[in-house]
């Protein structure tokens, strides 16, 4: 059999299609019409060090536990940004300070999942499946939640990237988004593909969703291609572009109402740094991403809640390699125009060694599901029965936390 090509089959595809993205030049299809409530979950995989993001600098034990990782006090060069005289924001997260000042950022410290094994993967499963066991369900709680938001209509959920995270996988339909770099396949080819996939229900369904998502995306973002490089969930370009695009897609009155953004690179066992270094770089990315999201949401920011969460926090004390190991309590950030913020919203357990979980991790005072429930109920208006019976079954102890949303 002769194959008429040699060199360069795959080459060229990338080069010829890497058109520049059009920054700022994107027209919104539906202008600034008021939208229903919007909700974005940002997952930070790897165990984000909550004690570095929101440092309890006013605690006596802070400097003792953190040693070389303790951040400079507010007022010092590159110092923490003071929040309430006791907690300070990491300087690389500076874009969040105005949100806090305006009452659009609420901080929940010492938050955790209902599961204490320190495995990333089990913990991420628990965070995403909404139960207290790692392998109890094949679908995610956000999927079960959006089932209540889309009676037969447009998919309410949006996932970003080639790989769909568990939190939004399940029976309720959702769309996905990733910046494209390959040439369009064309309408005629799509028709032939549809005919062929009639024999495979699963592929037919997924193809239909892909086509719908493409239509929606092009309606809002234009035929935007290129720009992600080797873009992955750990690079600065990913944060800027993906967060901004999600903002624009959600700002569309007919767009999805709920999105999940998946990031990684938060596992800082060694030399995590303070105001500079690996973790500060990650915070810088997140800072930029959240600012892009805010910008993309534009007028819809008023109706939005963005929840930033990781599978667990890290050890209170610095470890032997100037990093921190897997811990328990972590930080959740809630930001958006709909948030009743400018405050800390969960009890603080203290940082003295006897106050720690197993004398090593920040204790968990708040079940993360209480925050999720509060947002689903008070922001998205999902019925309490659906939340308790379907979204987070057998979780009555983790009561919905009220007052997170502006009245």
Partner 1 sequence: MRPEAYVAATRFGYGPRPGDLPSINRDPRGWLDAQIGNTTLPAPLQDLPGSAPLIAKMITEQSKPQGFANYIRTEARPAFDREVGRRTTAAAESDAPFRERLVHFWSNHFTVSVKRVQIMPSAGAFEREAIRPHVFGKFEDMLIAVAQHPAMLIYLDNQYSFGPNSLAGRRRDVGLNENLAREILELHTLGVDGGYRQDDVISLAKLITGWGVARPQDRRESTPGTFLFREPGHETGGKTLLGKSYRQGGVAEGEAALRDLARHPATARFIAGKLARHFFADDPDPETVARLARVFTDTEGDLAALSRALIDAPEPWDAPLDKFKTPNDLVISTLRALDAPDLRDKDMVGPLALMGQLPFTAPSPAGWSDRSADWLGPEALMTRIEWLRAVSAYTPIPNTLRWADSLLGPVLSDDTRIVVSQAQSESEAVALVFASPEFQRK
For the CB of residue 17, give the shortest distance to partner 1 in the complex, in Å.
8
Out of 20, 24, 202, 407, point to the residue binding partner 1 (CB under 8 A): 202
For the CB of residue 345, give the shortest distance to partner 1 in the complex, in Å.
30
Structure tokens at 323: 């990093």
Which 138-167 residues touch partner 1, going by CB under 8 A? Answer: 138, 159, 161-164
Which is nearer to partner 1, 109 or 181 (by Cβ)? 181
Which 215-234 residues touch partner 1, going by CB under 8 A? Answer: 230, 232-234
Which 326-365 residues touch partner 1, going by CB under 8 A? Answer: 326, 358
314-328 burial: b if 16+ Cβ within 10 Å, else e: bbbbbbeebbbbbbb
Distance CA 322, CA 279 (A): 12
**406 phi and psi angles, rounded to 5 deg:** -60, 140
Out of 192, 223, 343, 399, point to the residue binding partner 1 (CB under 8 A): 192
For the CB of residue 138, give the shortest distance to partner 1 in the complex, in Å.
8
Which is nearer to partner 1, 76 or 185 (by Cβ)? 185
Any contact of residue 13 with partner 1 (CB under 8 A)? yes
For the CB of residue 209, give the shortest distance to partner 1 in the complex, in Å.
4
Q: What track of x and - describes contact with partner 1 for positions 95 through 134 (by CB under 8 A)?
A: ----------------------xxxxxx-----------x
Structure tokens at 80: 């923490």
Which is nearer to partner 1, 232 or 365 (by Cβ)? 232
Which is nearer to partner 1, 104 or 325 (by Cβ)? 325
Any contact of residue 53 with partner 1 (CB under 8 A)? no
Out of 32, 33, 76, 206, point to the residue binding partner 1 (CB under 8 A): 206
Distance CA 233, CA 69 (A): 26
Structure tokens at 335: 């930001």
For the CB of residue 115, give the shortest distance to partner 1 in the complex, in Å.
11
Any contact of residue 171 with partner 1 (CB under 8 A)? no
Any contact of residue 185 with partner 1 (CB under 8 A)? yes
For the CB of residue 208, give the shortest distance to partner 1 in the complex, in Å.
8
Any contact of residue 383 with partner 1 (CB under 8 A)? no
Strand arrangement, sheet containing 81-82: 54-55, 88-89, 81-82
Which is nearer to partner 1, 196 or 383 (by Cβ)? 196
Distance CA 160, CA 176 (A): 5
Which 302-331 residues touch partner 1, going by CB under 8 A? Answer: 319-321, 323, 325-326
* Stretch near partner 1 under the rule CB under 8 A, chosen from 28-36, 70-78, 97-105, 199-207: 199-207
């Amino acid at each position: 059999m002769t194959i008429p090509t040699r060199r360069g089959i795959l080459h060229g595809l990338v080069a010829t299609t890497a058109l520049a993205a059009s920054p700022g030049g994107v027209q919104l299809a539906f202008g600034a019409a008021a939208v229903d409530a919007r909700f974005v979950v940002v997952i930070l995989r790897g165990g984000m060090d909550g004690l570095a993001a929101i440092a309890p600098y006013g605690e006596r034990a802070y400097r003792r536990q953190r040693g070389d990782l303790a951040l400079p006090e507010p007022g010092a060069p590159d110092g923490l940004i003071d929040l309430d005289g006791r907690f300070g924001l990491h300087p690389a997260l500076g874009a969040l300070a105005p949100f806090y000042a305006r009452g659009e950022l609420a901080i929940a410290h010492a938050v955790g999942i209902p599961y204490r094994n320190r495995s990333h993967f089990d913990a991420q499963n628990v965070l995403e499946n909404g139960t207290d066991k790692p392998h109890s369900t094949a679908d995610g709680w956000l999927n079960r939640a959006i089932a209540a938001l889309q009676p037969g209509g447009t998919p309410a959920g949006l996932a970003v990237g080639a790989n769909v995270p568990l939190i939004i996988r399940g029976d309720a339909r959702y769309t996905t988004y990733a910046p494209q770099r390959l040439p369009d396949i064309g309408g005629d080819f799509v028709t032939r593909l549809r005919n062929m996939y009639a024999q495979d229900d699963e592929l037919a369904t997924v193809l239909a969703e892909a086509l719908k998502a493409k239509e929606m995306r092009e309606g809002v973002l234009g035929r935007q291609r290129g720009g992600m490089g080797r873009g992955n969930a750990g690079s600065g370009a990913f944060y800027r572009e993906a967060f901004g695009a999600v903002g624009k897609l959600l700002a569309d009155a007919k767009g999805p109402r709920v999105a999940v953004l998946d990031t990684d690179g938060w596992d800082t066992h060694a030399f995590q740094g303070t105001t500079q270094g690996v973790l500060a770089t990650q915070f810088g990315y997140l800072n930029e991403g959240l600012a892009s999201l805010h910008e993309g949401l534009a007028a819809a920011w008023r109706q939005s809640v963005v929840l930033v969460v990781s599978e667990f926090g890290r050890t209170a004390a610095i470890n032997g390699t100037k990093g921190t190991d897997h811990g328990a309590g972590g930080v959740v950030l809630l930001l958006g125009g709909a948030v009743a913020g400018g405050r800390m919203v969960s009890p603080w357990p203290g940082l003295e060694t006897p106050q720690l979980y197993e004398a090593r991790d920040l204790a968990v005072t708040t079940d993360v599901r209480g925050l999720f429930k509060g947002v689903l109920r008070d922001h998205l208006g999902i019925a309490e029965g659906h939340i308790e019976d379907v979204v987070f079954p057998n979780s009555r102890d983790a009561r919905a936390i009220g007052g997170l949303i502006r009245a």
